[in-house]
């Protein structure tokens, strides 16, 4: 039986559709990624699965419980790490965790045991009596993930768990999540718009505009492109595009900023021919074996989000 089962899920906000009929299922022990640009409906879906929102129509089950009629049971069987920080800054790390344990009705002895265990794993035991407001972004994230795991949930939901963190901290958070998964064997459902992070998933669903446009393993998704991507920078992109389509029957896509991208079966053979045949001056050629970014570009004709790339540089 799948751990998460979603059928024809629809959510409208005041008549505007945020999620338009999404269906998928996640198996026990799987790491499942929801990928898409901001505003695609990732957080809305996660909020419905975590019973924070009621869907307009459709069905969702988590751990065999119905998200609409059995919210209490769903909530006690899941852990959730939100996009934004949801710790109490005025409490210490220990107090934040204790608050969580008591909300989940754990006994005092169990609370103390689990907190010690988990703080040890995330390397914050020494800082347990410090106020959270004095923590760095990375420490807060680690503490939140630790908190989400205190009650040993069967499914861990991670909504953009590395949003706003620097690249170093990001990779440490992922190492940490990977290690935990090995140890505890939970099912992980995550959303992200960082393509490289999605590579750790067993399966990925691309979501755009409230629809799932593809759902498969990262390997299969990349293979589905059947080819390499060639990036060109030319003196006149407009003319180059025309020539490519007329002379070579190649369908190039314009990139935001400058440059063209085209998918070809074998870049090694095509590049010399293009360079020979174009009358436009070529300033730069780049060749890339397919990545998830390219899959998204191929499926939607857009890059996942331009400003995020800027931010990351």
Partner 1 sequence: MPYRAIYVIVLRDFKRFFRQRGRLVTTVARPLLWLFIVGMGLTKVIDVKAHGSYLQFMLPGVIGMTVLFSSIFSTISVVWDREFGFLREMLVSPVSRLTIVAGKLLAGTSLSLFQGAALLFVAPFIGLSMSITDMAVMVFLIALVSFSLTAFGLFIAARLTSLEGFNVIMNFIVLPMFFLSGALYPVENLPPVLRHLTLVNPLSYGVDSFKHIMLSRQTGALRAEFPLSLDIIIIGIFALVMTLLSSRAFERR
> What are the residues binding partner 1 (CB under 8 A)?
50-54, 71-73, 75-76, 80, 82, 84-91, 95, 98-100, 102-106, 147
**Closer of 75 and 298 to partner 1 (Cβ):** 75
What value does the CA radius of gyration of the chain take, rounded to a whole number of Å?
Answer: 23
**Closer of 96 and 187 to partner 1 (Cβ):** 96
**Closer of 140 and 298 to partner 1 (Cβ):** 140
DSSP summary character for residue 78: E
- Minimum gap (Å) between residue 170 Cβ and partner 1: 20
Residue corresponding to tokens 């800054």:
89
- Nearest alpha-carbon partner for 36 in 312, 313, 299, 310: 299
Q: How far apart are CA 278 and CA 248, in angstroms?
A: 10
- 3-class DSSP string for 117-184: HHHHHCCCHHHCCCEHHHCCHHHHHHHHHHHHHCCCCCEEEEECCCCCCCHHHHHHHHHHHHHHHHHH
**Closer of 99 and 248 to partner 1 (Cβ):** 99
**Closer of 48 and 198 to partner 1 (Cβ):** 48
- Minimum gap (Å) between residue 73 Cβ and partner 1: 8
**Closer of 61 and 203 to partner 1 (Cβ):** 61
Using DSSP, state whether 17 is helix, strand or coil.
strand
- Minimum gap (Å) between residue 164 Cβ and partner 1: 13
- Minimum gap (Å) between residue 266 Cβ and partner 1: 50
Q: How far apart are CA 310 and CA 192, in angstroms?
A: 16
Tell me the two tokens of residue 12.
């409208």
**Closer of 99 and 231 to partner 1 (Cβ):** 99
Integer CA distances (angstroms), 275 to 137, 248, 281, 283, 307, in order: 48, 12, 9, 10, 31
Burial 45-71 (b: 16+ CB within 10 A, else e): bbbbbbbebebeebebbbbebebeebb
- Minimum gap (Å) between residue 85 Cβ and partner 1: 6
- Minimum gap (Å) between residue 103 Cβ and partner 1: 4
- Minimum gap (Å) between residue 140 Cβ and partner 1: 11
Cα 26 vs. chain centroid, distance in angstroms? 15
- Minimum gap (Å) between residue 269 Cβ and partner 1: 53
Are the CB atoms for 192 and 170 separated by under 8 Å? Answer: no
């Amino acid at each position: 039986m799948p751990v998460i089962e979603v059928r024809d899920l629809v959510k409208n906000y005041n008549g505007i559709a945020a999620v338009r009929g999404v269906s998928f299922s996640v198996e026990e022990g799987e790491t499942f990624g929801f990928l898409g640009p901001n505003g695609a409906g990732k957080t809305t879906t996660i909020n419905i699965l975590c019973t924070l929102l009621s869907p307009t129509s459709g069905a969702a089950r988590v751990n065999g419980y119905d998200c609409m009629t059995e919210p209490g049971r769903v909530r006690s069987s899941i852990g959730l790490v939100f996009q934004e920080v949801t710790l109490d800054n005025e409490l210490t790390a220990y107090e934040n965790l204790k608050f969580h344990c008591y909300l989940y009705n754990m006994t005092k002895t169990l609370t103390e045991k689990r907190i010690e265990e988990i703080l040890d794993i995330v390397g914050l035991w020494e800082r347990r009596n410090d106020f959270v407001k004095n923590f760095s972004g990375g420490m807060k994230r680690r503490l939140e993930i630790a908190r989400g795991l205190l009650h040993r949930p069967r499914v861990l939901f991670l909504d953009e768990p590395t949003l706003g963190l620097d690249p170093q901290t990001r990779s440490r958070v992922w190492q940490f999540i990977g290690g935990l998964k090995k140890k505890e064997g939970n099912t992980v459902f995550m959303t992200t718009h960082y393509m490289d992070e999605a590579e750790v998933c067993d399966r990925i669903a691309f979501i755009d505009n409230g629809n799932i446009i593809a759902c498969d393993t990262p390997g299969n998704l990349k293979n589905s492109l059947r080819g390499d991507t060639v990036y060109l920078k030319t003196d006149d992109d407009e003319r180059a595009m025309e020539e490519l389509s007329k002379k070579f029957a190649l369908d190039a896509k314009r990139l935001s900023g400058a440059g063209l991208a085209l998918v070809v079966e074998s870049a090694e053979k095509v590049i010399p021919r293009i360079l020979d045949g174009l009358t436009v001056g070529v300033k730069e050629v780049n060749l890339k074996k397919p990545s998830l970014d390219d899959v998204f570009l191929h499926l939607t004709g857009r890059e996942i989000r331009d400003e995020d790339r800027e931010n990351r540089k």
